C-alpha cells in the first residue's frame, strides 16, 4: 500500500509550504488524483487522516478531486474524456495520447 508513503511526502510538502508562508496550521488540503495514477482515494484518505495527527495538518480537512482520463488523438487531434480503458479514438480509431489523469497533484492549501 504505497498510499502511506504518498501521505508522508504530502505532509512534508505541507510542512515546507507552511514554513515558507509563516503559517502555524493548515486547515485544508486539496489534491487532484488522476484515475490512472495508481492511487486508491479511500486508502489515501485513511492514511492522511491517520498520519496528520501531531503535524501542521492536524485537524485539516482533506479534499480529493478525481480527474478523469483526458486524451488527444494523434491522428485527428480530437480531445476527449475516457470512461473506459479503451485507447482508440472514438472519432477516427487513431492512437491516443494521455493529456491528464495519470498523476496526483497538491492543488491548494489553506493556512493560518
- Is-contact 43 1, C-beta < 8 A? yes
Domains of the chain with CATH codes: 3-67+101-111 (3.30.2320.50)
As a whole number, the mean pLDDT across the chain is: 93
| Model confidence at 34: pLDDT above 70 | yes
Sheet containing 96-100, strands listed edge to edge, beginning at the edge strand earlier in sequence = 79-82, 69-73, 96-100
Residue-wise pLDDT for 55-69, tens only, equals: 999 999 999 999 999
- Set of cell numbers at residue 105: 497533484
Predicted confidence at residue 26, as pLDDT, reads: 98
The per-residue DSSP string of 4-63 comes to: HHHHHHHHHHHHHHHHHTT-S-EEEEEEEEETTS---HHHHHHHHHHHTTTSTTTT-EEE
Amino acid at each position: 500500500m504505497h498510499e502511506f508513503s504518498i501521505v508522508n511526502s504530502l505532509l512534508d510538502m505541507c510542512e515546507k509550504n507552511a514554513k515558507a508562508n509563516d503559517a502555524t496550521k493548515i486547515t485544508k488540503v486539496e489534491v487532484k488524483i488522476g484515475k490512472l495514477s495508481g492511487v486508491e482515494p479511500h486508502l489515501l484518505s485513511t492514511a492522511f487522516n491517520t498520519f496528520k495527527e501531531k503535524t501542521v495538518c492536524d485537524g485539516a480537512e482533506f479534499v480529493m478531486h478525481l480527474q478523469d482520463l483526458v486524451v488527444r488523438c494523434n491522428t485527428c487531434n480530437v480531445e476527449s474524456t475516457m470512461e473506459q480503458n479503451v485507447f482508440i479514438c472514438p472519432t477516427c480509431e487513431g492512437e491516443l495520447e494521455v493529456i491528464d489523469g495519470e498523476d496526483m497533484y497538491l492543488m491548494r492549501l489553506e493556512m493560518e
